C-alpha cells in the first residue's frame, strides 16, 4: 500500500458548491486535470478553469435527464483500478482507461428537498445514484485514490497537496474514506427513513435506520468513569436542547444536557400559558409555577423546594429579563434555558462565569410525534413520544362532590407536571404553583408522603402558617391501587384528586374520597415515566 500518491486527475461533481473555486485553484496550482459534470463543470468554467466533461471521457453523453452520466467503466475503472496490480494496469491500457486519483463528490440534496415539502416526484429525483457509487468506489480504493465528500475537508486536502508537491498521504486517504462511507451510510439512512415513515407511513419499520453525527465529546457521562458524547440527527429534526445556542458558561456535561432536556420538555407544555418557571433536579421537577411575571413564577417555583433547587436547571417559557436573571443568580444554578434573553439578563449572567445560558428560540411543540429509543442489553426499545394531553372535557367526575373552578385549574396544572415526574409520581398544586412533589418511589403511598413532607418543609422555610398542600389538588400519574395513597393525600390537606382510574379497586378508592369529602377526577390516561 503506497503512502504518497500524486494527484494527476481529479473528478469533481458536487451539489454543494461551497469552497469549490478555492479547491479547483489549488488543484490547478499542481497541474491536476479536472473532470466534471453538469452544474459543477459550469461553475468551474465560470471560475476560469479548464474542465474535461465526463461525456468526453466516456464517449457517451449525459442522458435520461442526467440520471446516467458517471455510471461507466471509464469512470469506475479509473477509480477502482489497483495501480500496483499488473492485471488491472493491463485492463486500463487495453480499454484506454485513465486513472482518477481524486474524487470530490457530495450528493443530491435529498434531506433539503424533503424538508422544503417537495412533491414525491421531486424527492425521488433527488435520490443520488452515480454519486454514491463513485464515493464508495473511491473509498474502497483509498490505497490509491483520495475521496472528499465534505467541503470542510477541502482545507486539509489543499494543505496536504501543498506540503507533498501535489500528492496525498495514506493517513489522509484513510480518514477521508471513513468519512465517505459514513456520508453514504447517512444518506441511505435518510432515504430509508423517508420511505419507511413518510412514504409508507410505517410507525415501526422492519429495519430502523438511525443516522446521527457527532456534535461534541463530553467531559464524562453520568459519572467520571463513564465516557459520553452528544450526537445530532443527520436529517431534519425538531429543535431542542441539542440545537440551543449556548451564550455563556463552561461546557455542558452529560447530566446538564439530560436535565436541561427534561426541563425544556416540561416548560414546553406551558408555551402558550402565562409566564412559567420550571426547576429541575436529576431530571425531575422540584418546583413549577405560573404567574403574572417570570420573576413571580421563579419565586413561587423556588418556594416549593429551595433545597433541591440548589444546583438545579431552570427553564422559562418567556424570554429572560433582567429582574428574573437577578433573582435566579441569587442561588447556585447550573443551567438556565429560555427562548431568548434581553441585554440586562445577559449582563447579569455574565458575572456568573460557570452558569450556562441556553437560548432555544421557539419552544418545541409538546404534541409533536416521533419515536423515543432506549438501549437495553442486546437491543433497543422504541415507543412513540408521550404526547397525550387532556382538557376539561376529557375529565370524568367520579365523586359526590364536584370540584370548584379553582380546584379544576389546579388539578389540570398538577396533571401536566405529573406527566414529567418519574413514577410513581405524586404532585400537589395550588394557585398555579406546585406545593409538593414525590417522585420515583416504589409505591404511591410513599410518593404521597414524600410530597407532603416537602410541602411542610417549604412552609417552615418560608414562614407560612400552613403547607400549600392544604386546599390543593393532587395528581397521580397512574391509578391508586389502594385507598392508602389517597388517604395520605387527604391527610396532607388536598381537596381534589386527579388520576387515571382503571384500578380493580376504583370503587374502594372512590368511597374513600367521598368519605374524606374530596372531589375526584378520572382522566382515562396514565403517564408512567421510568
Catalytic residues: 140, 282
3-state secondary structure 410-469: HHHHHHHHHCCCCCCCEEEEECCEEEEEECCCCCHHHHHHHHHHHHHHHHHHHCCCCCCC
**Which whole-number Å values give the CA distances from 421 to 282, 343, 474, 503, 528, in the listed order?**
10, 34, 13, 21, 9
367: left (phi over 0), alpha (psi -120 to 50) or beta: alpha
| Residue 63, strand partner residues | 68
Contacts of 455 (CB under 8 A, 6+ apart): 304, 428, 435, 436, 467, 468, 469, 492
The helix, strand and coil proportions of the chain, stated in percent and rounded to the nearest 5, come to 40, 20, 40
What are the grid coordinates assigned to 425, written together? 409520581
Report the C-alpha gap between 479 and 500 in whole angstroms. 5
Answer for the pair 228, 244: CB distance below 8 angstroms, yes or no.
Answer: no
CB atoms within 10 A of CB 229: 12
Burial class of 401 by CB neighbour count within 10 A (0 to 12, 13 to 18, 19+): middle
Give the orientation angle of helix 73-80 with respect to helix 86-94, to 10 degrees.
150
φ and ψ of 511, to 5 deg? -60, -40
Tell me, rounded to whole angstroms, the distance of Cα 433 from its chain centroid. 29
Which single residue is written with the C-alpha cell 429582574?
323
Q: What are phi and psi of 88, to 5 degrees?
A: -65, -45
> CA–CA separation, 115 vs 280, rounded Å?
33
Q: How far is CA 297 from the centre of its chain?
A: 27
C-alpha cell at 480: 391508586
Amino acid at each position: 500500500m503506497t503512502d504518497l500518491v500524486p494527484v494527476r486527475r481529479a473528478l469533481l461533481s458536487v451539489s454543494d458548491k461551497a469552497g469549490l473555486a478555492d479547491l479547483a485553484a489549488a488543484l490547478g496550482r499542481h497541474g491536476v486535470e479536472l473532470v466534471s459534470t453538469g452544474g459543477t463543470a459550469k461553475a468551474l468554467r465560470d471560475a476560469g478553469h479548464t474542465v474535461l466533461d465526463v461525456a468526453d471521457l466516456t464517449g457517451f453523453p449525459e442522458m435520461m435527464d442526467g440520471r446516467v452520466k458517471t455510471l461507466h467503466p471509464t469512470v469506475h475503472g479509473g477509480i477502482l483500478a489497483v495501480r500496483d496490480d499488473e492485471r488491472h494496469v493491463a485492463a486500463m491500457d487495453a480499454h484506454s482507461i485513465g486513472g482518477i486519483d481524486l474524487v470530490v463528490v457530495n450528493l443530491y440534496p435529498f434531506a433539503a428537498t424533503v424538508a422544503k415539502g417537495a412533491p414525491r416526484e421531486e424527492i425521488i429525483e433527488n435520490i443520488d445514484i452515480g454519486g454514491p457509487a463513485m464515493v464508495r468506489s473511491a473509498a474502497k480504493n483509498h490505497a490509491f485514490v483520495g475521496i472528499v465528500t465534505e467541503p470542510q475537508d477541502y482545507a486539509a486536502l489543499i494543505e496536504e497537496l501543498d506540503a507533498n508537491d501535489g500528492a496525498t498521504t495514506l493517513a489522509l486517504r484513510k480518514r477521508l474514506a471513513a468519512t465517505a462511507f459514513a456520508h453514504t451510510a447517512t444518506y441511505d439512512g435518510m432515504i430509508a427513513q423517508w420511505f419507511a415513515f413518510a412514504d409508507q407511513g410505517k410507525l415501526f419499520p422492519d429495519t430502523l435506520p438511525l443516522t446521527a453525527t457527532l456534535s461534541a465529546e463530553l467531559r464524562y457521562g453520568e459519572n467520571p468513569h463513564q465516557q459520553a458524547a452528544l450526537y445530532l440527527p443527520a436529517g431534519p429534526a425538531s429543535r431542542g436542547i441539542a440545537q440551543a445556542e449556548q451564550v455563556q458558561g463552561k461546557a455542558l456535561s452529560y447530566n446538564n444536557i439530560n436535565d436541561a432536556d427534561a426541563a425544556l420538555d416540561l416548560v414546553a407544555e406551558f408555551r402558550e400559558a402565562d409566564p412559567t418557571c420550571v426547576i429541575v433536579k436529576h431530571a425531575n421537577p422540584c418546583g413549577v409555577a405560573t404567574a403574572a411575571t417570570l420573576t413571580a413564577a421563579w419565586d413561587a417555583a423556588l418556594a416549593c423546594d429551595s433545597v433541591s433547587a440548589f444546583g438545579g436547571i431552570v427553564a422559562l417559557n418567556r424570554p429572560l429579563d433582567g429582574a428574573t436573571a437577578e433573582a435566579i443568580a441569587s442561588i447556585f444554578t447550573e443551567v438556565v434555558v429560555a427562548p431568548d434573553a434581553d441585554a440586562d439578563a445577559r449582563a447579569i449572567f455574565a458575572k456568573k462565569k460557570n452558569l450556562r445560558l441556553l437560548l432555544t428560540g421557539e419552544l418545541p411543540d409538546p404534541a409533536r410525534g416521533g419515536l423515543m429509543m432506549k438501549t437495553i442489553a442486546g437491543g433497543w426499545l422504541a415507543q412513540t413520544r408521550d404526547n397525550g394531553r387532556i382538557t376539561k372535557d376529557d375529565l370524568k367526575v367520579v365523586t359526590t362532590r364536584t370540584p370548584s373552578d379553582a380546584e379544576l385549574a389546579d388539578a389540570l396544572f398538577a396533571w401536566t407536571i405529573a406527566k414529567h415526574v418519574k413514577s410513581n409520581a405524586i404532585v400537589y398544586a395550588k394557585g398555579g404553583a406546585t406545593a409538593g412533589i414525590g417522585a420515583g418511589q416504589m409505591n404511591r403511598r410513599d410518593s404521597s408522603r414524600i410530597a407532603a413532607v416537602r410541602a411542610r418543609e417549604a412552609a417552615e422555610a418560608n414562614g407560612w402558617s400552613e403547607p400549600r398542600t392544604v386546599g390543593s389538588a393532587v395528581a397521580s400519574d397512574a391509578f391508586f391501587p389502594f385507598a392508602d395513597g389517597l388517604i395520605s393525600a387527604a391527610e396532607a390537606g388536598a381537596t381534589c384528586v386527579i388520576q387515571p382510574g382503571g384500578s380493580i379497586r376504583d370503587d374502594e378508592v372512590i368511597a374513600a374520597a367521598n368519605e374524606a369529602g374530596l372531589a375526584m377526577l378520572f382522566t382515562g390516561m396514565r403517564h408512567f415515566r421510568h
